[in-house]
Amino acid sequence: MWNIQTFSELESTQTLARDQLARSRAKHGDVFIALHQTGGKGRYSDRLWHDEAGANLLMSVVLQEVPKHLQDKMQFVVALADLQAIRKLLLQIAPSFNIDRVKLKWTNDILIDKMKVSGILSEAIWSGPELKGVVLGIGINVNQRSFPADVASLAMSLSSVIHQTISLDAVRDMLLSELELALREYTTSGKLISALRTELEWMRSIESFSLLEPGGTKAEGLRYEGIGDSGELRVIAADSTIRTYQNATLNLL
What pLDDT shows up at residue 217? 93
198 SS3 class: helix
Domain boundaries, the chain: 3-199, 206-251
Q: Enter the DSSP assignment of 23.
A: T
Spans of the chain below 50 pLDDT: 43-46
What pLDDT shows up at residue 41? 54
With a CB cutoff of 8 Å and minimum separation 6, the contacts of 22 are 125, 132
How is the beta sheet containing 57-63 ordered, strand by strand?
3-7, 30-34, 57-63, 130-140, 115-127, 109-112, 102-105
CATH of domain 206-251: 2.30.30
Q: Cα(243)–Cα(225) distance, rounded to whole angstroms?
A: 9
Q: Enter the DSSP assignment of 147.
A: -
What pLDDT shows up at residue 177? 98
What pLDDT shows up at residue 40? 61
pTM score of the predicted model? 0.94
Q: Cα(253)–Cα(245) distance, rounded to whole angstroms?
A: 19
Q: Cα(200)–Cα(205) distance, rounded to whole angstroms?
A: 10
CATH 3.30.70.20 assigned to domain 3-199? The reply is: no
Phi-psi region of 113 (alpha: psi -120 to 50; beta: other; left: phi over 0): left
What pLDDT shows up at residue 102? 98
